[in-house]
Structure 1
């Protein structure tokens, strides 16, 4: 019977709730902007990775490695675009 219980999904759900509570603590403890944004960014990236691995079953197929490579490539392109835009428009480098 224990092999039928979705232990991995339940633990992922509990961990998601813990990460959400940590993110809510930023609001309730009235943290500074820098500390609050740091906590929110860290919890957001951890939760996105958790969702990808646990609930979207990214590593459970035979092409799981290709899925992770595509996710890393997408994150690289997104960060490159964001920081390139900040560099050119906000920070004044061109």
Structure 2
């Protein structure tokens, strides 16, 4: 019966809820901008990792593990290029 109960998924769900409550507490509390941003970034990275590895089963397939990690790296690259390209053109004054 122990094998049928998904304890990792339940613990991941609780961890996701705790991270969401921490992020909400940062927004409701009156802490400084830098500390709040650092806490939110750490919570976002941990939340993304939890979602990928526990709920999207990224580490369960043995044969296509390299392609999965390459797809994640490519998605991160495209996202970062989009974000920093937008910042470059709209805020940092590309002429």
TM-score w.r.t. structure 2 length? Answer: 0.84
Match of 2:25 in 1: 25
Tell me which residue corresponds to 1:5. 5
Give the structure 1 partner of residue 78 of structure 2. Answer: 77
Q: Which portions of structure 1, spanning 4 or more consecutive aligned residues, are displaced by more than 4 angstroms?
A: none
C-alpha separation in 1, matches of 2:40 and 2:21: 11
Structure 2: where are the runs of 5+ without partners? none
Q: Which has the higher helix share?
A: 1
Aligned length: 94
Instruction: For residue 25 of structure 1, report the CA deviation from its aligned partner.
Output: 1.7
Q: CA RMSD in A?
A: 1.6
Gapped regions of structure 1 (runs ≥ 5): none
